[in-house]
Amino acid sequence: MSIQLSLAEQLSFTTVRIECMLHDGSSSVGTGFFFKFVTESDKTILTIITNKHVIEGASKAVFYLTKKGASGEPKFGEYNFFEMFDFQNWILHPDANVDLCALSVSNLFNRLYNQGQDFFWRAFDKNIIPNHQDVTLLSALEDIVMVGYPIGLWDSKNNMPIFRKGITATHPKLDYNNKNEFLIDAACFPGSSGSPVLLYKRGLPIEAGPGIKISGINGKLLLLGVLYAGPQLAVNGKIHSVPIPTKTISIATSRIMINLGYVIKWNRILELEQLIIDSVPKADHNQ
- How many separate domains does the chain show? 1
At residue 138, does pLDDT exceed 80? yes
- For 113, residues 6+ apart whose C-beta sits below 8 A from its C-beta are none
Q: How far is 232 from 239, CA to CA, in rounded Å?
A: 6
**C-alpha dist (Å) from residue 220 to 7, 128, 146, 171, 212:** 11, 8, 16, 18, 11
Q: How far is 91 from 272, CA to CA, in rounded Å?
A: 8
- What pLDDT shows up at residue 250? 43
- What pLDDT shows up at residue 216? 40
For residues 107-117, average pLDDT: 92
Higher-confidence residue of 273 and 254: namely: 273
Task: Return mean pLDDT, the chain.
Answer: 86
pLDDT band per the 50, 70, 90 thresholds, residue 109: very high
For residues 6-23, average pLDDT: 92
Q: How far is 117 from 224, CA to CA, in rounded Å?
A: 32
If we measure between CA atoms, which residue out of 135, 166, 126, 175 comes closest to residue 148? 166
Give me the CATH number covering residue 41. 2.40.10.120
At residue 179, does pLDDT exceed 60? yes
- What pLDDT shows up at residue 213? 56
For residues 138-149, average pLDDT: 94
Domain containing residue 115: 7-284
> In this predicted model, what pLDDT tens digit does every residue of 226-238 receive, in sequence order?
999 887 666 555 5
Chain centroid, CA 57 distance in Å: 20
Domain assignment present for 221: yes
For residues 41-50, average pLDDT: 94
If we measure between CA atoms, which residue out of 51, 48, 61, 62 comes closest to residue 105? 48
Domain assignment present for 2: no
- What pLDDT shows up at residue 86? 83
- What pLDDT shows up at residue 143? 93
pLDDT band per the 50, 70, 90 thresholds, residue 5: confident
Domain assignment present for 1: no
- What pLDDT shows up at residue 285? 61
